[in-house]
Amino acid sequence: MYRTNLQKNIVIPSLIIIASVALGCIAVPEGAKAVLTFLKQELFNSFSWIYILSVAFFFLFLVVLCLGKLGDIRLGDDDEEPEYSFFSWLCMLFSAGMGIGLMYFGVAEPISHLSAPLHSMASPVMQTKEAMLNTLFHWGIHAWAIYGIIGLSLAYFGFRYRLPVTIRSGFYPLLKHRIYSTPGTIIDILALCATIFGLTTTLGFGAMQLHAGLREVGALSGVSFQSLIFIILLSIGAAVLSSISGVGKGLRYLSQGNLILSITLMLFVLLTGPTVYILAAFTENIGYYLTHIVELSFRTFAYESTKEEWFTSWTIMYWAWWISWAPFVGLFIAKISRGRTIREFVVCVLLIPTVFNLLWMTVFGNGAIWMDAQTAGMLTQAADATDRLLFLFLNQLPLSTITSLTAILVIAIFFITSADSGIFVINSIASQGKSTFPRWQSILWGSMLAVLAIGLLYSGGLEALQTMTVIMALPFSLIMVVMAFCLLRGLWVDDSYFSRNLSKSTAYWDGKHWQARLKKVVSAGTLEDVRAFLRDVAAPAFEELQAEFAKNGIAVQIRSGEENGLSYCELIVESGRLRDFLYGVGCKEHAISKMVVSSDLLPKMNTVDDFEPVCYFADGRRGYSLKYMRREELLTDVLRQYERYIRMIANSKHNLYLFDKKNDET
């Protein structure tokens, strides 16, 4: 038997839905496309304002959150360090979010807007400015706000509340223990289907652009479905190999390398193209974008009905597409953001990719518009061939074969990283938030993505599936609004409970026994040290507290044991329907810098592994290190937490934290 952590109640219904929709699109592609397109247009025409309002809300919500005191809360333990370096984190953010899209639309969208201007009576200069403004708006901060809402919600509840890092956990304040039952399962099924549908369509279109690029450089002689099959199988095969190596290895290295390649290509276009014009345009584009961002955020063309077709075909289509991708990208961002503060998360997720996107779109978009003017409209005349426009543009620059091959390589790696992170997210949703998976599961999901993409390309059903995906975005946008309020609810409780000022009676250290304290400071802790702390400090302190609580008519339980080879000891005060008061002492491992271990700075620090006792509380989160505490100090700290707990149960506003999932029947 193969080892698996797949959840059958999530996977089986999802596969039935995916197979039904995919077979329908493959069997009757034109009929499915016609029906779904009609439904999409009706939804877009009647409910476009919902897309606009919800996306504007996501952006404003994150900005307010970042500027307030809640931005100091860390996605994980209070003393936790980020899992990935800043550069690696940004590379993975960028590659997962929009990599293929930037390559596809960097030239195509500005040229499309220029060939069919929104305001046909405007001057050529205004048409150019408007083409770039709309492109920057569609690829700017709003798209990342959509991803940020889900990413932040899942990272917060996953790493702070110790819930599974999966979509259902974002609704914990609303559903409470029901996230583990039918409502939570339904949420994950919808998220899994949306992720697979979105990935399949994106990979299909990415394969088409790779195919077009290979034709442009002469590697392929013409349109060939066999070539498309080869591209898909090779790319997804590489993605599976990268996925098997682990998100911390394969994806990180691919993302870093591809970001460097992308920047190199962009700098080449900047330096060999109209450099001064592009830099001046970038400066003006930023000002024009910032000047109009509020107006654009709420623009629905309610007073210009003739512009509705453009509006629904571009802005609403983009917003729906970003929302449909949000479960995939948001969950992936959450997985790689452990240890970041909320403020750091919001600033980096919103601003840094946005600035890069603005620069990329200016270099390729304004460069293409300038080139179009120099070649008597060569690019606008080919505006319908969107998958070829990038390569037609590069052909007008020096070293066109080399740059086209570089662009193909960048697209291929973006294809691989999208599939790799997609397989990781699919595995995570299907296993209810697990972080490690058997290799055969990655092979299974990769094979399924390849079969779906090939089947839909062969039948012509890819556009029908894309339409189905954006239709699902409307109800999901409302679900995301609910998720945002759930996040705010959780943050309020976190700030109220864990940031509450305490009485001044707590004294951590009175200066006594400083020699023993110094010895602990300059040496690494071992598992035996933690066991000694539990035996000689925690257990006697808990027993003394148990006796004193009993004198006050309060029953206290002491529970100890081992889990995964690590010892723990807990003091529990049962509270009926409320969440029990729990003060636990467990073990946490830290990695010490090899440079410190090998230096003479700390001669007693002779191992890279440091074990220390830490406390944790009733909701499962860890508190802080107890390494230097003696029995009296630990007694005081337990009472400190118990005082906080008593204050909380006296206030009904904090019932989220105090809720006990075992006893709640509502």
pLDDT tens for each residue of 401-410? 899 999 888 8
Structure token pair of residue 66: 């970042």
Reference 296, options 422, 164, 132; nearest CA is 132
* SS3 (DSSP) at 471: helix
Provide mean pLDDT across the span 392-405: 91
Distance of alpha carbon 148 from alpha carbon 195, whole angstroms: 16
**What sign does the dihedral 497-501-507-511 (CA atoms) show?**
positive
Identify the pLDDT of residue 515.
Answer: 57
Enumerate the domain spans of the chain. 8-495, 504-658
Identify the pLDDT of residue 526.
Answer: 82
Distance of alpha carbon 210 from alpha carbon 466, whole angstroms: 19
- Whether residue 516 is predicted with pLDDT greater than 70 in this model: the reply is no
More confident residue, 522 or 460: 460
Residue 406, exposed/middle/buried by CB under 10 A (0-12, 13-18, 19+)? middle
Identify the pLDDT of residue 505.
Answer: 35
Structure token pair of residue 472: 């699902």
More confident residue, 609 or 185: 185
Residue 293, exposed/middle/buried by CB under 10 A (0-12, 13-18, 19+)? middle
Q: 477-487: per-residue pLDDT in tens?
A: 889 999 999 99
Q: What Å distances lie between residue 458 and 82, 257, 452, 645, CA to CA? A: 44, 32, 10, 62
Q: 68-94: per-residue pLDDT in tens?
A: 888 888 888 777 788 888 888 877 776
Q: Name beta bridge partners: 616.
A: 584, 622
Chain Cα centroid distance, residue 335: 7
Residue type, 135: T
Q: 330-347: per-residue pLDDT in tens?
A: 888 888 888 899 999 999
Among left, alpha and beta (phi > 0; psi -120 to 50; other), residue 441 is: alpha
Provide mean pLDDT across the span 512-535: 73
Residue type, 123: S
- Whether residue 595 is predicted with pLDDT greater than 70 in this model: the reply is no
Identify the pLDDT of residue 252.
Answer: 67
Give percent of the chain above pLDDT 70: 86
- Whether residue 497 is predicted with pLDDT greater than 70 in this model: the reply is no
Provide mean pLDDT across the span 142-167: 90
Residue type, 282: F
- Whether residue 504 is predicted with pLDDT greater than 60 in this model: the reply is no
Identify the pLDDT of residue 335.
Answer: 84
Identify the pLDDT of residue 659.
Answer: 52
Identify the pLDDT of residue 663.
Answer: 42
Backbone angles phi, psi at 610, to 5 degrees: -125, 125
Neighbours of 13 (CB within 10 A): 17
Q: Name beta bridge partners: 612.
A: 588
Q: According to CATH, what is the number of the domain 8-495?
A: 1.20.1740
Check: CB of residue 275 under 8 Å from CB of residue 23: no
- Whether residue 558 is predicted with pLDDT greater than 90 in this model: the reply is yes
Provide mean pLDDT across the span 179-198: 86
More confident residue, 660 or 433: 433
On average, the pLDDT of the chain sits at 83
Identify the pLDDT of residue 540.
Answer: 94
Q: What Å distances lie between residue 174 and 55, 170, 189, 489, 621, CA to CA? A: 22, 9, 18, 9, 20
Identify the pLDDT of residue 666.
Answer: 37
Distance of alpha carbon 645 from alpha carbon 83, whole angstroms: 31
Q: Which of 213-222, 356-365, 501-510 has the highest mean pLDDT?
A: 356-365
Provide mean pLDDT across the span 254-280: 90
More confident residue, 108 or 221: 108
Distance of alpha carbon 531 from alpha carbon 84, whole angstroms: 31
Identify the pLDDT of residue 653.
Answer: 58
- pLDDT tier at 321, thresholds 50, 70, 90: confident
Distance of alpha carbon 190 from alpha carbon 197, whole angstroms: 11
Identify the pLDDT of residue 301.
Answer: 92
Residue where the block lists tokens 């904090």: 654
Reference 483, options 71, 73, 194, 191; nearest CA is 191
* SS3 (DSSP) at 590: strand
Distance of alpha carbon 75 from alpha carbon 145, whole angstroms: 18
What is the pTM assigned to this prediction? 0.77
Check: CB of residue 556 under 8 Å from CB of residue 572: yes
Identify the pLDDT of residue 620.
Answer: 59
Q: Name beta bridge partners: 610.
A: 590
- Whether residue 472 is predicted with pLDDT greater than 60 in this model: the reply is yes
What value, to the nearest 5°, has the Cα angle with vertex 394 and ends 388 and 397?
Answer: 155
Identify the pLDDT of residue 605.
Answer: 57
